[in-house]
Chain A
Amino acid sequence: MPLSEPRSWPHLLTRAMSLAAVATVLSACSASGLSQPAPPHGDARNTAAPGEVLNGGGTPVKGGTLKISMAADPLCLDPHSISSDTEQILGHLQFDNLTFLNADGSPGPWLATSWTISPDGRTYVFTLKKGVTFADGTPFNAQAVVANFAHMLDPNTRSPLAGPYIAPYASSTVIDDYTLQVNLKSAYSPFLNVLAQGWLGMESPKAIQESTPAQLCAHPVGSGPFTLTSYTPNVGASYARRADYDWGPPALGQTGAADLDGVDLSWIGQDPVRYNSLISGQYQLTGYLPPQNAAAVQANSQFVFEDVNRIGWPFTFDFNTSRAPLDDIKVRKAIVEGVDVNAIVQTSQFGQRGVARSYLDSVTEFYDPSVQLPAYNVQDANALLDGAGWASRNAAGFRTKNGQELDLKLPVSNATTVSPVYDLLQAQLKTLGVNLQVEVQPQTQVTTRRYAGDYDLLSGVWHTNTPDVLSIKYASSQIPNSAHLGQNLARLSDPTLDRVLQRSRETTDRTELASLYSQAQKQLVSDVPGLPVYQNTVLWAFDKKLHNVIVNTSHGTPLLTYAWLVP
């Protein structure tokens, strides 16, 4: 879709870089029973409640093309093949899921109208919705679901999220066209939740079968309210309404086709350009509002601004516990106590994000507010470092042990704007006598180092829709190696924690789950596998001409199925 901009070198380069960045933004999926309400309105942030309808009411206007901007192109639109966070917004334009998260966070029906779970938690029998078709005319049925599971797990798909999320999947038995039995290798209580995530959207089995992975990336086919009409990598994509769509999530309380004629999407990597093009009316919605511009948008009565806290793992610096110096728990504890996270968050996030002092985002189900990392205490931190043998200092003021300086390497991708958080952390660690070396490198190099374990710190977020994020980030089976690109980047191996996390996947008993996840959080606070910094919130804004935007419970993103636009 058209985005006329000058093709200067710097412009193309930055755009290319931001696109590459997007491709690597790792996000996790949807939420499981989100029992805890989002923080109320009235604090500095404007936090929408899950499932809330924004700028609702009024008589819907038919027609019009919605123009939206996103930060970066995942360079592939096949939801099973990517991990880009943008999928949570644009995926739901084109694809439908088996389940949909209700406002309370519990999994509700969508293309699966009902299900039963065997007592051992290993067998799910789904009843599927009838009359659903994909955009290429292929009917949706049990065979289609089987083909989708197979595609997610196919090594050729190289699925970074969808596949790993259904890793316990073993096989399927087609009972009839609209009844499917799914057999799991082991009990997996987050299963229904993850099925609601954008990356697990249902694709046309015909398109899957007839396309190469590259073709599917360029032109995937779904059953959603819009169909993809064009896609130009790094520029944008266009979607057109499907007039015969009539199978939206029942929880939305609306039926029929979309009101919008279509959606035009542009990738705009530069923060200031994305902000200014929203303000100037070129776009009616942006999925990624830069935090530095949040206050200005909030003060502008022409826009609706949302700042939604997400289920999952907060923005955290992973500590590489598998090599010196961070294999020493005293050094890890010293960093957690010696860094004034409040100051970092206040300066870098413009009051838009809350401080994280635990390894689970506060809106996640079974988050235990009583489990917190110790408070900021420089004296303690210095004492811990002295006790760990890093007592002497060199001429530069950095601590040394046996002549070796206390250096920490943090590889950072040059694909996006380097966050001020790194500078701020570096300055604070310097006062502790720790030399943080921020190494800005091409994304491919960072990825290689990430899986080879060549780092002391790495930073990131993981948003999903279940507290099972703790298994993804900290189970020892998730330590990455050449064969398995796991996400346990702290390389933490704690048998006690492993047992607790494994049990949490097996049980559906909520009392037991609460106790298990609380135990896991306590264990992590004593293991100190990282430095959590801020709550993982997503900032987005849209013009008030756009109505009926729904906050998707799964990831706090805007759901545009029944949005309508005043010309």
Chain B
Amino acid sequence: MTTTAHLPAPRGVWLRSRLPRPGIVLAALFLLVVAVAAVVPGLLAAQDPLAIGTDPGFLPPFASTAHLLGTDQEGRDVLSRLAHGTAPSLVMGLGATGIAVIGGAVLGLLAGLGSRATEAVVMRVLDVVLAIPELLLALIVIALLGTGTEHALLAVGVATIPYYSRMVRAQTHVVRRSGYVEAATGLGIHQASVIWRHVLPNAIKPVLVLATIGVGTAIAVGASLSFLGLGAQPPAPEWGSMLAAGVQYISVDWMLVAIPAVVITLTVLSVTVLGQDLRRRAEGRTAR
């Protein structure tokens, strides 16, 4: 049986029920639509996002019932591309954050529980990595591995590892000095078991809150990489690459830029709003 830790915040605050604020409801609803688009894009848009038919390019939104959001420069349905582009865009956010959380947890535990020397080495290396801006680090990874969604995902994930490992390390320091860990160690439980069952579960919670906010950032960075032509490759639909293609035709049809830009912004905003709310709840502060 897992011994549940008592975090600094009193128990119950974590999921304290409170009437959600309208902004949070809106964000959650928007993310629900995004989630549906990611899992079953066909529900929102019936057309093939790659199909180039006889329809003219640059149709404005609502001009045709077949193309609610119009068509792009090649006559493809914008709504379909947006819907089918959701999954790759979200995979970037979730995947990169997943890599960062796992990598951050391992390195953070290593630093937090290891010897002073181990901690010094790990933290100084992470300091160096932190000194390099996230996007620049991602570009270096791509330069080494090549372009493509998987590489961009790995790049963003690796670049954000230090943020998580620093937090895990700090939390580990708090948790390892707590009574229950000392008790478990005193009872003679194997060290690996103590780490796995007591330290990690209690150190990771604030990290998950941070990760929620990080998903938004990762989506934005992923879109930036695709915008630069380093992420998803044409003709695969992806929000960042749709934006990049649209910019070329901004003088002809500005909607090709506006639509993916608004969707990226709203998604990142919604994830961040929910993440902030989670953090406030976890920290026991009043949502404000």
Cβ–Cβ contact A14 & B74, under 8 A: no
- Could you say which residues of chain B place their CB within 8 Å of the CB of A292? 73, 248-249, 251-252
- Asked whether A427 and B51 contact (CB < 8 A) given A10-B227, A13-B228, the answer is yes
- Asked whether A440 and B229 contact (CB < 8 A) given A292-B248, A347-B57, A423-B74, the answer is yes
- Asked whether A347 and B147 contact (CB < 8 A) given A14-B228, A296-B251, A418-B234, the answer is no
Bound CA span A13–B74, Å: 26
- Could you say which residues of chain B place their CB within 8 Å of the CB of A17? 229
- Could you say which residues of chain A place their CB within 8 Å of the CB of B251? 272, 275-276, 292-293, 296
Bound CA span A428–B248, Å: 23
A:253-291 near B, CB below 8 Å = 270-272, 275-276, 290
Cβ–Cβ contact A427 & B249, under 8 A: no
Task: Determine whether B235 belongs to the interface, using a CB cutoff of 8 Å to chain A.
Answer: yes
Residue of A nearest to B241 (CB): A418
Distance in Å: Cβ of B24 to nearest Cβ of chain A: 32
8 Å CB contact of B233 from A13, A427, A440:
A440
8 Å CB contact of B248 from A271, A296, A423:
A271
Residue of A nearest to B56 (CB): A347
- Could you say which residues of chain A place their CB within 8 Å of the CB of B249? 272, 292
Bound CA span A14–B139, Å: 13
Instruction: Mark each residue of chain B from 223 to 266: 1 if its CB lies under 8 Å from any CB of chain A, else 0.
Output: 01001111001110000000000011111100000000000000
- Asked whether A427 and B52 contact (CB < 8 A) given A347-B57, A441-B147, the answer is yes
Interface of A, secondary structure class, is: helix
Distance in Å: Cβ of B36 to nearest Cβ of chain A: 26
Residue of A nearest to B73 (CB): A420
Distance in Å: Cβ of B227 to nearest Cβ of chain A: 7
Bound CA span A292–B251, Å: 8
Cβ–Cβ contact B250 & A272, under 8 A: yes
- Could you say which residues of chain A place their CB within 8 Å of the CB of B50? 423, 427
Task: Determine whether A245 belongs to the interface, using a CB cutoff of 8 Å to chain B.
Answer: no
Instruction: Mark each residue of chain A from 1 to 24: 1 if its CB lies under 8 Å from any CB of chain B, else 0.
Output: 000000001100110010000000
Task: Determine whether B269 belongs to the interface, using a CB cutoff of 8 Å to chain A.
Answer: no
Bound CA span A417–B229, Å: 9
Bound CA span A427–B227, Å: 22
Bound CA span A426–B74, Å: 12
Cβ–Cβ contact A422 & B57, under 8 A: no
Task: Determine whether A207 belongs to the interface, using a CB cutoff of 8 Å to chain B.
Answer: no
Interface of B, secondary structure class, is: loop
Residue of A nearest to B50 (CB): A427
- Could you say which residues of chain A place their CB within 8 Å of the CB of B75? 347
Cβ–Cβ contact A347 & B136, under 8 A: no
A:189-222 near B, CB below 8 Å = none
- Could you say which residues of chain B place their CB within 8 Å of the CB of A428? 52
Task: Determine whether B135 belongs to the interface, using a CB cutoff of 8 Å to chain A.
Answer: yes
Interface size grouping (class) on chain A: 20 to 34
Distance in Å: Cβ of B27 to nearest Cβ of chain A: 27
- Asked whether A293 and B227 contact (CB < 8 A) given A9-B135, A13-B139, A440-B233, the answer is no
Residue of B nearest to A430 (CB): B50
Residue of B nearest to A415 (CB): B229
Distance in Å: Cβ of B244 to nearest Cβ of chain A: 8
Cβ–Cβ contact A440 & B74, under 8 A: no
- Could you say which residues of chain A place their CB within 8 Å of the CB of B224? 10
- Asked whether A414 and B227 contact (CB < 8 A) given A292-B248, A293-B251, the answer is no
Residue of A nearest to B57 (CB): A347
User: Which of A275, A290, A427, A438 gathers the greatest number of chain B CB atoms within 10 Å?
Assistant: A427
Bound CA span A113–B155, Å: 61
Bound CA span A275–B135, Å: 28
Task: Determine whether B146 belongs to the interface, using a CB cutoff of 8 Å to chain A.
Answer: yes
Task: Determine whether A329 belongs to the interface, using a CB cutoff of 8 Å to chain B.
Answer: no
Instruction: Mark each residue of chain B from 48 to 83: 1 if its CB lies under 8 Å from any CB of chain A, else 0.
Output: 001110000100000000000000011100000000
Bound CA span A414–B235, Å: 14
Bound CA span A271–B252, Å: 12
Cβ–Cβ contact A347 & B74, under 8 A: yes
- Could you say which residues of chain B place their CB within 8 Å of the CB of A441? 146-147
**Which are the 7 A-B pairs with shortest beta-carbon distances?**
A427-B52, A423-B235, A440-B233, A414-B229, A272-B250, A292-B252, A420-B74
Q: Give chain A's interface residues, CB within 8 Å of chain B.
A: 9-10, 13-14, 17, 270-272, 275-276, 290, 292-293, 296, 347-348, 414, 417-418, 420, 422-424, 426-428, 438-442
A-B contact pairs, 17 of them (CB 8 A): A270-B247, A292-B249, A347-B52, A347-B57, A347-B74, A348-B74, A414-B147, A414-B230, A418-B229, A422-B235, A423-B50, A424-B74, A426-B235, A427-B50, A428-B52, A442-B146, A442-B147
